[in-house]
Structure formats: C-alpha cells, structure tokens
C-alpha cells in the first residue's frame, strides 16, 4: 500500500517561502532568491517583492514582528512594513540597498535621536505584543522590566551571558572577575540617570537612507545603540554621532562609557561564536573600569 506524506501545514516549519508569501500577500509568486539560510526574497506577480524569513522558534518571529511595529510607530527611522507573521515565518517589505552618503548619515543620526526619544515603558520593556523571552540574533534575551538601568543592565544584559560563557568554558572564572567588578560598580560607572529609550537593540549600520531591520527592540539606555554602531563598524559614524548629538546632546563622559555599553553585545557574541570575542569582552570590561 502506498504511503503518501502529508503536505506541510500552513505556517509550519516545512512550508516553502513561496507558499507563505502567496498566502500572506494574496498574490501569486513568480520567483525567489535565497539571501541566506533563513531569508528569501520572493517576487510577486504584477511587480514588487517581499522578504520571507524563517525562524527556528515561533517566539523569535513574534519578537521580531512586534519590534518592527514598535519601531515603526515612532515615525522616526524607516522600518520595513510587516506584511504578516505566522508561527515560524515573517513576511516584510523588501528594503532596497543604497550607497552611504554624508546626508544620509546625518539624517540617520537625527532620526535615531527621535526614535530613542519616543521612549519605552521601562528598561527591559518588550515591544507591545512581543514576548518577554525574546532573542538577540540567535541568543535568547529576556525582556524583564526594571526601574533602574544599572541594576537592570547587570542582571538581565551582562551577567546572564557571562554565566553562559563561563559554564561553557569559553571564559575562565578568573577572567570573569573584571566583568563582575563592572556589574558591582555600575551605579557609579553608568553616568547620569536617563529615561528608558526605545532601542533597536541590535544596531549594526546603515547604507543609503538608513532602514532598521533585524531588531532586538526593547527599552534601554540610548548609549547602548550608539556603542553597538561603533563596535561593528558603520559608514559615516562620525557624521551620525554629530547629528545625533545636535538633536539630542549626550551626557558628559559618554565616550568613556562606550566599553561599558559594548560589554553586552560582546558577551552575546562570545556565547554564540566562542573564544574569539571573549578577549574583546574582557577588554571592554577593563576599559569601563578605567573610565
């Protein structure tokens, strides 16, 4: 007796990007182009295309969709519109790449300041409708609200990833001491108190007119987004920061706190990618202690 495999369930992990795009948009599909293992550009009939992303966890899809909507609500920086989301799939508008220009960098700096100023309910507040158990890249990230940034940053952004790195043997117990010292001294290292900012949370860079994609959005300290731009390299960063500071001046000593704010993403990368980032994380901790 012949056994026929059941067709993939709608929205299930085994469905094709083309089927998801057709169902979400209500239009037939004429082509596809794989951009990465989990990201596909799907061309629609009558022109236009969408980006279809596959998430390994349904909550990761929910978190990204909620983050994009929350960032878009600020009306500050362009964000690709969410066409639809399903259990393991997110469909958004396609963003056309462009060349970096001085004007685009300065506009992005002003727009990013406006995004941050749109605020959040608390440090660690997730986007409305987003799960508290979210992600940054492929690493779990808990969005637990807190009233005071230093304590929240230590408990929910630095120490969880340090513990994971130590448990995995990527960072030795003795090596972890500078990071632990930073956490203990955060109230004095953090600078003047600031209200919670609406963060993209995984800000890498910009080209052409900057668009915000792949967010790990949450309420946080605005200097964290800026430190992440410097960490991973961003075209026209000096112009971005100059325009940002004109629109929203930064507290005195912000440059000395760059290492403090880079500690979180560097520890995330240590957990995800291993020993190569551990040295940078420990150097960031020592830099914060010298500030």
Distance of CA 19 to CAs 11, 42, 164, 265, Å? Answer: 9, 10, 38, 35
- Closest-CA residue to 49 (of 91, 97, 98, 99): 91
pLDDT one-digit tens code per residue, 237-280: 999 999 999 999 999 999 999 999 999 999 999 999 999 999 99
Could you give phi then psi for residue 135, rounded to 5 degrees? -140, 150
Residue 56 has pLDDT above 80, yes or no: yes
**Catalytic residue status for 143:** no
* % of the chain surpassing 90 pLDDT: 79
**CA distances from residue 166 to 53, 194, 278 in whole angstroms, order as listed:** 32, 31, 10
Tokens (6 digits) for 100: 């970096």
What's residue 97's pLDDT? 72
Instruction: Give the model's confidence band at 3: pLDDT under 50 very low, under 70 low, under 90 confident, else very high.
Output: very low
Mean pLDDT value across the chain: 91
**Residue 169, C-beta contacts closer than 8 angstroms, at least 6 positions apart:** none
211 vs 118, higher pLDDT: 118
Alpha-carbon gap, residue 261 to 61, rounded angstroms: 26
Residues 27-47 have pLDDT tens digits of 999 999 999 889 999 999 988
- pLDDT over 90 at 100, yes or no: no
CB 122 within 8 A of CB 228: no
In order of 35, 40, 66, 93, 284, the CA distances from 233 in angstroms are 22, 25, 26, 25, 16
Q: Cβ(169)–Cβ(273) under 8 Å? A: no
Considering 12-16, 93-97, 156-160, the range whose residues carry the highest mean pLDDT is 156-160
Q: What is the pLDDT of residue 4?
A: 41
Identify the active-site residue in 14, 111, 167, 202.
Answer: 202
The tens digit of pLDDT for each residue in 164-219 reads 999 999 999 999 999 999 999 999 999 999 999 999 998 775 544 567 888 999 99
Smallest CA-to-CA distance from 63 within 134, 116, 114 is with: 134
């Amino acid at each position: 007796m012949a056994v026929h495999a059941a067709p993939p369930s709608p929205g299930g992990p085994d469905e094709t990007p083309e089927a998801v795009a057709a169902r979400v948009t209500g239009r037939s599909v004429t082509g596809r182009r794989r951009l990465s293992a989990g990201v596909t550009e799907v061309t629609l009939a009558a022109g236009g295309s969408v980006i279809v992303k596959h998430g390994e966890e349904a909550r990761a899809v929910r978190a990204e969709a909620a983050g994009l909507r929350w960032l878009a609500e600020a009306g500050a920086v362009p964000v690709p519109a969410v066409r639809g989301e399903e259990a393991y799939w997110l469909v958004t508008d396609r963003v056309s790449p462009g060349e970096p220009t001085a004007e685009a960098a300065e506009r992005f700096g002003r727009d990013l300041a406006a995004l941050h100023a749109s605020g959040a309910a608390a440090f660690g507040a997730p986007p409305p409708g987003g799960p508290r158990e979210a992600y940054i890249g492929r690493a779990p990230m808990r969005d637990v609200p807190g009233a005071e940034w230093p304590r929240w940053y230590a408990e929910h952004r630095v120490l969880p990833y340090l513990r994971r790195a130590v448990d995995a043997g990527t960072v030795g117990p003795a090596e972890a001491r500078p990071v632990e010292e930073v956490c203990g001294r955060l109230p004095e290292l953090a600078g003047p108190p600031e209200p919670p900012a609406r963060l993209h949370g995984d800000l890498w860079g910009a080209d052409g007119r900057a668009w915000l994609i792949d967010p790990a959005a949450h309420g946080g300290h605005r200097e964290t987004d800026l430190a992440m731009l410097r960490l991973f390299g961003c075209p026209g960063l000096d112009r971005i920061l100059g325009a940002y500071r004109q629109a929203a001046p930064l507290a005195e000593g912000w440059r000395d706190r760059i290492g403090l704010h880079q500690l979180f993403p560097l520890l995330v990368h240590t957990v995800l990618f291993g020993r190569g980032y551990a040295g940078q994380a420990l150097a960031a901790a020592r830099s914060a202690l010298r500030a």
